Structure 1
Amino acid sequence: MKIAVVGIGLIGGSMALDIKTAFENVEVIGVDKNEKNAKKAKDLNLIDAIGELKDLQNADVVIVSVPVDVSIKVLSEVLDHVGENTLVLDTGSTKEKICESVKNHTKRRNYLAAHPIAGTEFSGPEAAIQDLYRGKTMIVCEVEKTAFKLQEIAFEIFQKLGMRIRYMDPHSHDKHIAYVSHLSHISAFMLGKTVLEKEKNEKDIFDLAGSGFASTVRLAKSSPAMWSPIFQQNKENVLETLTEYIQNLNEFKNLIEQDNFKKLYEEMENTNHIKNVLNGIN
C-alpha cells in the first residue's frame, strides 16, 4: 500500500507511523512545503521518501494534515492530482468550510472528511508518536459522498489504528467541537496570558505552579499557526461558546463579590457531574 502524507507533523506523522506498523508492505511518501520538516520526517523514519503533489497519482491513500486554512487551498489541488481509485482524507478540526470548498470537485467521491479527536500540545515531525490514535474517536462527515470502496479502505485503517467511528454532519461537528475543543484551547491561551502579564518574574511562576496549573495551561503550548485559522473558520460557533463562557465567569465573579459562597459551592458541586460524563466517555 502506498500512502502519501501532505503535511508531516504530529497528526500526519503519527498516522504514518501507525499505518506502517499496522499494515505490511507500506511505503509512505511525505509532501511538505517546509523542506526541513520533510527531511526531519525522513530522518525519523516517519516517511520513506520525500515527494511532490505530482507523485500523488500513484498513491492508494492520501492524508492531508495541514492547518485548516491551508487545507482549503491544498485539498482541491490534491484531488486534482490523485488517481481515480485514491482515497483522500483530511484531519482538520473544522469541517464545514473544508467540505464546502470541494463539494463541486469532479473527484469529490475520492474524499472522506475526517477529524481524529487526538493530539498533544506539540507540533512538527518530532512530535509524532506511536499509538496516538488507539482508543480515540474518528469523526467522519458526509460519508455518503465518498465512494463505498474507498470508505471501506478508510474504515479498515481506522479499525487497525484502534479508533472508534462517529458520524456527524459538518455543521454539527463544528458547533460541538467549538465547546469541547476550541473553547478549552482559548481558555488555556488566556490563562497563560493572564499569568504571564501578572507575574513578570517568570521564576515565581515555575516555583509556585503546581500540577493543576500545568495541566490547565498545557494547551497554551499549542501552535498558533494551527489554532488561529481554526478560530477564524469556526468564528460563529467560537463566539457563541465564548459568550456563554464569559457569562458563567461573570456569574462566578458576582457570587464571590456578593459573598454568596453557599451558591458558589452549589455551582461547583453541580459541575462535578462532569466527571461522571467523562468517565462514561473513557
Structure 2
Amino acid sequence: MNVFIIGIGLIGGSFAIDIKAAFDDAKIYGIDESEENLNKALDLGLIQYKSSLDKLEKADIVIVAIPVDATVQMLPVILDKINDDCLVFDVGSTKQKLCKTVSEHKKRRNYLAAHPIAGTEFSGPQAAIANLYRGKTNIICEVEKTAFKLQERGMEIFSRLGMRIRYMDSASHDKHIAYVSHLSHISSFMLGKTVIEKEKNERDIFDMAGSGFASTVRLAKSSPAMWAPIFKHNKENVIETLEEYIANLTQFKKLIEDDNFTEIYKEMQDTNHIKTILKGIS
C-alpha cells in the first residue's frame, strides 16, 4: 500500500508512525515544501521515501496534512493527479469551504473530508508521536459523496488507528468546531498576549505561573501558520462564538464591579457541570 503524506508535521508524521505500525505492507512517501522537514522525517524514520506531486499517480492513499488555505489550493491539483482507485483524505479543522471547492471535481468520489480531533501544541516532524489518534473522534463530512469502496479503505485505516467515527455535514462541523476548538485557541492566544503585555518582565511570569496558567495558555504555543487560515475560513462562525464569549466576559466583569459574588458563585457552580460533560475525555 503506497501512502503519500503531504505535510510531514505533527499530524502527518503521527499518521505515518501509526499506519506503518498497523499495516505491514505500507510504504510511506513524504511530500513537503520544506526540504528540511523531509530530511528530518527521513532521519526520524517517519517516511521511507521523499516524493513529489508528480508521483501521486502510484498512490493508494493520499493524506493531506497542511494548513487549510493551502489545502483548498492543492486539493483540486491532487485529485487531478491521482489514479481512479486512490483515496484522498485531509485532516483540516474547517470543512465547508474545502468541500465546496471540490464539489464539482470529476474525482470528487475519491475524496473523503475528515477531521481527526487530535493534536498537541507542538509542530514539525519531531513533534510526531505514536498513538496520537487512539481513542480520538474523527469527524467525517459528506461521506455519501465518497465512493463506497474508498470509504471502506478509509474506515479500515481509522479503525486500526483506534479512532471513533462521527458523521456530520460540513456546515454543522464548522459551526460546532468553532465553539469547542477554535474559541479555545483564541482564548489561549489572547490570555498569553494579555499577560505578556502586562508583565514586561518575563521572569515574573515564569516565577509566578502555576499549573492553571500553564494549561490554559498551552494552546498559545500552537502554529500561527496553521491557525490563522482556520480563523479566516471559519470567519462567520468564529465571530459568532466570540460575540457570545465576550458577552459572558462582560457580564462577569459587571458582576465583580457590582460586588455580586453570590451570583458569581452560582455562575461558576453551574459551569462546573462541564465536568460531567467532559468525563472520560483525555
TM-score (norm 1): 0.99
State the Cα RMSD in Å.
0.7
Q: Which amino acid aligns with 2:115?
A: H
Helix, strand or coil: the match of 1:279?
Answer: coil
The answer as to 2:83 corresponding to 1:75 is no
Query: After TM superposition, where is structure 1 displaced by more than 4 Å over at least 4 residues in a row?
Result: none
The separation in 2 between residues aligned to 1:101 and 1:221, in whole angstroms, is 30
- Extract unaligned runs of 5+ from structure 1: none
Helix, strand or coil: the match of 2:88?
Answer: strand
Measured after TM superposition, the shift of residue 123 of structure 1 is: 0.6
Measured after TM superposition, the shift of residue 281 of structure 1 is: 4.8
Tell me the residue number matched to 1:235: 235
Tell me the residue number matched to 2:189: 189
Between stretches 52-61 and 174-183, larger displacement belongs to 52-61
| CA deviation map 1:194-238 (0-9, x unaligned) | 000000000000000000000000000000000000000000000
Q: Which amino acid aligns with 1:4?
A: F
Helix, strand or coil: the match of 1:138?
Answer: strand
| CA deviation map 1:136-157 (0-9, x unaligned) | 0000000000000000000000
| CA deviation map 1:58-110 (0-9, x unaligned) | 11100000000000001111101100000000000000000011111110000
Q: Which amino acid aligns with 1:217?
A: V
Tell me the residue number matched to 2:61: 61
Tell me the residue number matched to 2:89: 89
Q: Which amino acid aligns with 1:274?
A: I
Q: Which amino acid aligns with 2:263?
A: K
Structure 2 counterparts to residues 8-157 of structure 1, below 5 A? 8-157=8-157
Measured after TM superposition, the shift of residue 26 of structure 1 is: 1.0
Measured after TM superposition, the shift of residue 39 of structure 1 is: 1.0
The separation in 1 between residues aligned to 2:230 and 2:186, in whole angstroms, is 11
TM-score (norm 2): 0.99
The separation in 1 between residues aligned to 2:102 and 2:134, in whole angstroms, is 29
Percent of aligned positions that are identical: 67
Helix, strand or coil: the match of 2:129?
Answer: coil
Q: Which amino acid aligns with 2:83?
A: G
The separation in 2 between residues aligned to 1:87 and 1:44, in whole angstroms, is 26
Measured after TM superposition, the shift of residue 280 of structure 1 is: 5.5
The separation in 1 between residues aligned to 2:255 and 2:110, in whole angstroms, is 54
The separation in 1 between residues aligned to 2:42 and 2:93, in whole angstroms, is 26
Q: Which amino acid aligns with 2:31?
A: V
Q: Aligned in 2, Cα 1:40/1:175: closer, same or farther, shift over 3 Å?
A: same
Tell me the residue number matched to 1:265: 265
Q: Which amino acid aligns with 1:13?
A: G
Tell me the residue number matched to 1:252: 252
Helix, strand or coil: the match of 2:192?
Answer: helix
The separation in 2 between residues aligned to 1:168 and 1:175, in whole angstroms, is 11
Tell me the residue number matched to 2:172: 172
Measured after TM superposition, the shift of residue 33 of structure 1 is: 1.1
Tell me the residue number matched to 1:199: 199
The separation in 2 between residues aligned to 1:44 and 1:98, in whole angstroms, is 31
| CA deviation map 1:126-179 (0-9, x unaligned) | 110000000000000000000000000000000000000000000000000000
Helix, strand or coil: the match of 2:28?
Answer: strand
The answer as to 2:214 corresponding to 1:214 is yes
The separation in 2 between residues aligned to 1:201 and 1:280, in whole angstroms, is 39
Between stretches 31-40 and 163-172, larger displacement belongs to 31-40
Q: Aligned in 2, Cα 1:128/1:281: closer, same or farther, shift over 3 Å?
A: closer
Helix, strand or coil: the match of 1:46?
Answer: coil
Helix, strand or coil: the match of 2:30?
Answer: strand
The separation in 2 between residues aligned to 1:37 and 1:55, in whole angstroms, is 19
The separation in 2 between residues aligned to 1:239 and 1:218, in whole angstroms, is 22
